[in-house]
Amino acid sequence: MTNYAELLSILPNHLNKSVKKTLGKSAHDLLNEMLLLEAKVLLKQINLNVTEIAYKVGKNEASDFVRFIKKQTGIRPSEYRKIV
């Protein structure tokens, strides 16, 4: 979150308050939604493996990516690929 606030030249707290006021959710939640959408698009591309997708969405470890997807969707990335 801090990185995004720095890019906008504002404090992280101000970013979070602004997002919360405008969208009714935290900046962290908004970021997770955006990462999930990007991950879902990339998971549809079978030429990319899970590790490559993890790096593309900013996760340094494939295991972090798998946990993130499982927490957000209830299924593992490999299972998601089978249903799309």
Fill in the DSSP letter of residue 66.
H
Q: In the chain, what are the domains?
A: 26-83 (1.10.10.60)
Query: For the chain, what is the radius of gyration of the CA atoms?
Result: 14
pLDDT in tens, 24-80: 999 999 999 999 999 999 999 888 999 999 999 999 999 999 999 999 999 999 999
Structure tokens at 57: 């969405």
Residue 84 has a pLDDT of 79
pLDDT in tens, 11-33: 999 999 999 999 999 999 999 99
| Secondary-structure breakdown of the chain: helix, strand, coil percentages, each rounded to the nearest 5 | 75, 0, 25
pLDDT band for position 1 (50/70/90)? confident
Structure tokens at 79: 């299972």
Record the pTM: 0.83
